[in-house]
């Protein structure tokens, strides 16, 4: 097992390379360079893996775990949710319209474009948020952001994008760069009683265990979402994963779809640009 000193040094090097001093102007923020450094760090850390392998999370890290993943995919535990999501997506609202009316291409094969920065609103829009806004615009009550129907809907929409590479855009807008930078800052900031950051687990220790969980690399971590987790005995969204992580480090979770979480999703998705969508997925 790698020493704690070595792991801490590696994570510090990545943080220093990508984050550095706090920017004082938008032109000091360079997402393209960030993504290049981020992907280079992980491909050098795991030289036997191709970049596209990282989307399978811990199952990509060794042959035994990869075989486990292949076995799971024969009878995937998320299949029930996928079927439900397809049914929910096609079911008309009370006004006769449907989810397809709210999205480009009828909502099919578009997962790789979310989240995006809405220049009119000046905020990051995630797929989960867009689905609930679609419902509310058509007179329907919003869904829980963390599981059940929302997880099923995002599972179905994600499945229709399988194999398509993340293609997250950062428009030439200072507010978009600020949202991206806020997401990066959140990723590297320590919090909670355990004083962990997202990077503590997913940059320093991918492949290691924390309790029963095998930690995934941060690269490609959202490409497999939403996921079925044995711990949950069900499906969970990106919102559920973020709030659960905050709870596990004995921090105070934010409200699902808080600006900080949306910015974090924007950052993590952007630095995984070019890696294929693999979700919905399953994890221990």
* Strand-strand pairing, 227-229 and 281-283: parallel
Question: Max CA-CA distance within the chain?
Answer: 60
**Can you tell me whether residue 125 is helix, strand or coil?**
strand
Which residues, 6+ apart, have CB-to-CB distance to 26 below 8 Å?
174, 177, 178
Q: How far apart are CA 35 and CA 180, in angstroms?
A: 12
Q: Among all residues, which ones are annotated catalytic?
A: 245
Tell whether 250 is in a known binding site.
no
Tell whether 6 is in a known binding site.
no
CA angle 69, 59, 228 (to 5 degrees): 65
Tell whether 134 is in a known binding site.
yes
Is there a contact between 271 and 34 (Cβ–Cβ < 8 Å)?
yes
CA angle 31, 20, 56 (to 5 degrees): 50
Tell whether 201 is in a known binding site.
yes
Q: How far apart are CA 227 and CA 120, in angstroms?
A: 31
Tell whether 102 is in a known binding site.
yes
Q: How far apart are CA 20 and CA 2, in angstroms?
A: 25
Binding residues for substrate, by number, are: 241
Binding residues for heme c, by number, are: 102, 134, 198, 201-202, 245
Binding residues, by number, are: 102, 134, 198, 201-202, 241, 245
């Amino acid at each position: 097992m790698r020493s704690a000193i070595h792991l801490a040094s590696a994570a510090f090097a990545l943080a220093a390379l990508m984050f550095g001093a706090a920017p004082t102007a938008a032109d000091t923020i360079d997402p393209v360079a960030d993504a290049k450094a981020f992907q280079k760090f992980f491909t050098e850390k795991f030289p036997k893996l191709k970049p596209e392998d990282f989307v399978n999370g811990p199952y990509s890290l060794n042959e035994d775990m990869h075989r486990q993943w292949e076995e799971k995919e024969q009878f995937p535990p998320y299949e029930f949710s996928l079927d439900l999501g397809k049914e929910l997506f096609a079911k008309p609202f009370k006004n006769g319209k449907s989810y397809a009316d709210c999205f480009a291409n009828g909502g099919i094969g578009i997962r790789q474009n979310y989240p995006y920065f809405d220049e009119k609103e000046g905020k990051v829009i995630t797929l989960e948020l867009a689905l609930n806004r679609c419902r509310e615009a058509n007179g329907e009550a919003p869904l829980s952001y963390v599981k059940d129907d929302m997880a099923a809907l995002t599972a179905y929409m994600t499945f229709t994008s399988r194999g398509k590479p993340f293609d997250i855009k950062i428009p030439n807008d200072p507010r978009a760069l600020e949202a991206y930078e806020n997401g990066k800052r959140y990723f590297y900031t320590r919090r909670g009683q355990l004083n962990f950051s997202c990077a503590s687990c997913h940059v320093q220790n991918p492949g290691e265990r924390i309790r029963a969980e095998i930690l995934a690399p941060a690269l490609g971590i959202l490409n497999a979402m939403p996921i079925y987790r044995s711990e949950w005995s069900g499906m969970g969204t990106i919102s559920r994963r973020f709030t659960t992580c905050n709870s596990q480090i004995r921090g105070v979770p934010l409200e699902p779809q808080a600006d900080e979480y949306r910015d974090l999703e924007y950052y993590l998705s952007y630095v995984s640009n070019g890696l294929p969508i693999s979700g919905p997925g399953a994890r221990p």
